[in-house]
């Protein structure tokens, strides 16, 4: 059996240690517990151990768990998967943050649905730093344009940038990708305009924190293998 509370404590320690190494204040990194493919009971166990932010990749599963766990006060759901426009309507009412805005068409749909739901919604712009054909995200040189479009739009607020870099066996090899997202943020106006950098997963979140992540998305290290 996976000991979710013990795993969670270990990841939180890992986050604190990485903050200390990087000379960053404790509490400057938010943990998004990625619960995709795991049952709602696992999310509940993590919540009971103190975790509040959860990330999901698939619209149907996202909505199902958010509804099943409505009784959990202060729980926050982030959508971190690739979002189809025809799923935006379902996702918007439950999303505290949509991390994967990567086109103007998707943005327009989120704006429309946020308007109809009568709410403001926070988003991140996903950047394809590795320029991988099979991956979602805007190319780095297009990110500024999309960030600008979000800034002009009603009902959405751009909180920062998100990256899912090319897979590397050695977490050190991921460092330049994370640094690249931070550099891009500087180019686009810095942390006043884009406070959040969502980067780092189970295998490489300490490196991502050393490179400036404000949000790490950790699944396997908390909930076990999928
Ligand atoms: C699944 C997933 C994660 C978590 O990955 P782990 O390696 O299990 O920590 C983080 N971000 C995204 C976008 C994911 O799809």
74 Cα–ligand 1 center, Å: 22
- DSSP-derived letter for residue 138 is B
Per-position DSSP letters for 76-128, written without gaps between them: EEEE-S---GGGHHHHGGGEEEEEEE-SHHHHHHHHHHHHHHT--EEEEEEE-
Testing ligand 1's pocket by substitution, the residue of 201, 216, 223, 225 carrying the most ligand atoms inside 8 A of its CB is 201
Question: Is the pLDDT at 2 greater than 90, yes or no?
Answer: no
Rg (CA), the chain: 17
Burial grade of 58 (CB within 10 A; 0-12, 13-18, 19 or more): middle
201 Cα–ligand 1 center, Å: 6
Q: Confirm or reject: Cβ of 100 under 6 Å from ligand 1.
A: no
Distance CA 18, CA 27 (A): 11
Distance CA 31, CA 51 (A): 8
50 Cα–ligand 1 center, Å: 20
Is the pTM for the entire model greater than 0.75? yes
71 Cα–ligand 1 center, Å: 25
Give the three-class secondary structure for 226. coil
Question: Is the pLDDT at 156 greater than 80, yes or no?
Answer: yes
pLDDT over 90 percentage in the chain: 99
Q: Confirm or reject: Cβ of 140 under 6 Å from ligand 1.
A: no
55 Cα–ligand 1 center, Å: 9
167: its two tokens: 């897979």
User: Nearest CA to 166 among 178, 155, 154, 148?
Assistant: 178
Q: Work out which ligand 1 atom sits closest to the CA atom of 218.
A: 9
Model confidence pLDDT, tens digit, residues 90-138: 999 999 999 999 999 999 999 999 999 999 999 999 999 999 999 999 9
User: Nearest CA to 33 among 2, 22, 19?
Assistant: 2
What per-residue string of b and e applies to 36-57 under the rule 16 or more CB within 10 Å gives b?
Answer: bebebebbbbbbebebbbbbbb
Distance CA 205, CA 215 (A): 9
Testing ligand 1's pocket by substitution, the residue of 167, 181, 219, 220 carrying the most ligand atoms inside 8 A of its CB is 219
């Amino acid at each position: 059996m996976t000991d979710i509370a013990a795993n969670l404590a270990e990841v939180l320690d890992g986050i604190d240690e990485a903050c200390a190494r990087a000379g960053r204040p404790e509490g400057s990194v938010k943990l998004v517990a990625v619960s995709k493919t795991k049952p709602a009971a696992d999310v509940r166990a993590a919540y009971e151990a103190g975790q509040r932010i959860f990330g999901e990749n698939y619209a149907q599963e996202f909505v199902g768990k958010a509804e099943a766990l409505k009784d959990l006060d202060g729980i926050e759901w982030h959508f971190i998967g690739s979002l189809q426009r025809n799923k935006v309507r379902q996702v918007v009412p439950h999303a505290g943050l949509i991390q994967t805005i990567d086109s103007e068409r998707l943005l327009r749909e989120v704006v429309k649905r946020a308007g109809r739901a009568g709410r403001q919604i926070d988003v991140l712009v996903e950047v394809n730093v590795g320029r991988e054909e099979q991956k979602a995200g805007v190319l780095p040189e297009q990110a500024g344009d999309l960030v600008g479009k979000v800034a002009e739009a009603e009902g959405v607020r751009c909180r920062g940038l998100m990256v899912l870099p090319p897979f590397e066996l050695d977490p050190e090899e991921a460092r330049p990708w994370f640094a690249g997202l931070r550099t891009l943020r500087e180019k686009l106006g810095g942390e006043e305009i884009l406070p959040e950098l969502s980067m780092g997963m189970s295998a490489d979140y300490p490196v991502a924190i050393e490179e400036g992540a404000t949000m790490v998305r950790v699944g396997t290290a908390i909930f076990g293998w999928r």
